[in-house]
Structure 1
């Protein structure tokens, strides 16, 4: 039994080091994504996301067994698609979908279930068949799963509120939006929190008009 403890402890330490490494590697991606998404002029975002996607490729290459790397490459590819727009963005949405599905296959609860949230958003923003793979049913399943993993998170609550707004379920949307407003701050991601709060405020105004 003592020998087993001696073997297991180094393995746990190595796992902790590996997790710390990938979190260190994705931090610049998170920071730059927030800068592009919330501070850069719209006409400059497409090129900036293209450059950031190349950086994400390198992070994935160095962390090919880590869900966190795939999650962030998927998020960046999705944001790049949004900035690019049109049919030319569909290949990027498919790349994002593949990355997020890969993350779920490795560690579904990585980054508090962020892969569920991001994949759910893709499913309700991408057109359905025959143009794309979009599906409101699948979006709902993924977004509610994200909330099971991270019920107090700002992102899963905001995006579920946005989805419900699109579904014209305004009362429920407002309930989840209030939860997003009350979400705990993320000390390591202040710019992302600030930008998301602005989006929450804008959606709240929209909902208030819809509910009159």
Structure 2
């Protein structure tokens, strides 16, 4: 049985043709969610993260109350719920990942291109990390499908390449994993996402070292 210890789910980009344009206030709330997520994930002591993420979910819910059809906010609600599940761990996190999945699927139904296809990346990462039936909805075939779709939309992004690389190394497809992780590390910086990018690059570097060890 897969251990329900989720990786960090965080994707960011700009939708080319958004179905619903965020208001100025919605943009500010989105940026606040993104910034606070990175602070909790990379600077908050591990034992305090679950409670901090739970509080951040309530902030995402408040933002969505004003703009319930904003796919960007739905995506980030899913990201935060998924990360909270990772902080919680164990079977008790299943209800959180199910909520995350529902939020991400809602975002996809509104605008699959939102935040450069981030809903696909986040859903894909859930599918390969959550236990499969009868415990959870985990499905490696569906995970790869989602992650490849994310890369079709955002081929050079740090997050879709990182998560695809992690998926591939779990499948013991080490050569492919190395290529994906190297591409993640070559991704351009995202304005305003310095802390998130720094953390993700550290994770990609550590995972690449593991993969290269398997290839020796």
TM-score, L = length of structure 2: 0.89
Look up the match of 1:8.
Answer: none
After TM superposition, where is structure 1 displaced by more than 4 Å over at least 4 residues in a row? none
How many residues end up aligned between the 2 structures? 198
Of the three residues 27, 35, 40, the one matched with 1:36 is: 40
Partner SS, residue 105 of structure 1: helix
Cα distance, 1:162–1:17 mapped onto 2, change above 3 Å: closer
Cα distance, 1:16–1:94 mapped onto 2, change above 3 Å: closer
Conserved? CA contact 1:22–1:68, under 8 Å: no
Look up the match of 2:183.
Answer: 179
Instruction: Encode CA deviations 1:177-204: one digit per residue, 9 max, x unaligned.
Output: 1110110110111000000010011101
Look up the match of 1:52.
Answer: 56
Look up the match of 1:69.
Answer: 73
Structure with higher Rg: it is: 1
Mapped partners of 1:18, 1:116: distance in 2 = 20
Of the three residues 119, 126, 131, the one matched with 1:122 is: 126
Cα RMSD (Å) of the superposition? 1.3
Distance apart, 1:69 and its partner CA? 0.7
Look up the match of 1:82.
Answer: 86
Look up the match of 1:3.
Answer: none
Q: Which has the higher contact order (CA 8 A, sep 6+)?
A: 2
Mapped partners of 1:24, 1:127: distance in 2 = 35
Distance apart, 1:18 and its partner CA? 3.4
Look up the match of 1:138.
Answer: 142
More helix by share: 1
* Residue 25 (structure 1) aligned with residue 29 (structure 2): yes
Unaligned runs of 5+ in 2: 1-18
Look up the match of 1:203.
Answer: 207
Conserved? CA contact 1:23–1:68, under 8 Å: no
Distance apart, 1:131 and its partner CA? 0.2
Unaligned runs of 5+ in 1: 1-14
Distance apart, 1:165 and its partner CA? 0.5
Distance apart, 1:23 and its partner CA? 2.4
Of the three residues 139, 152, 156, the one matched with 2:160 is: 156
Look up the match of 1:97.
Answer: 101
Mapped partners of 1:17, 1:140: distance in 2 = 30
Query: For structure 1, which segment, 152-161 or 55-64, has the greater mean C-alpha deviation from structure 2 after superposition?
Result: 55-64
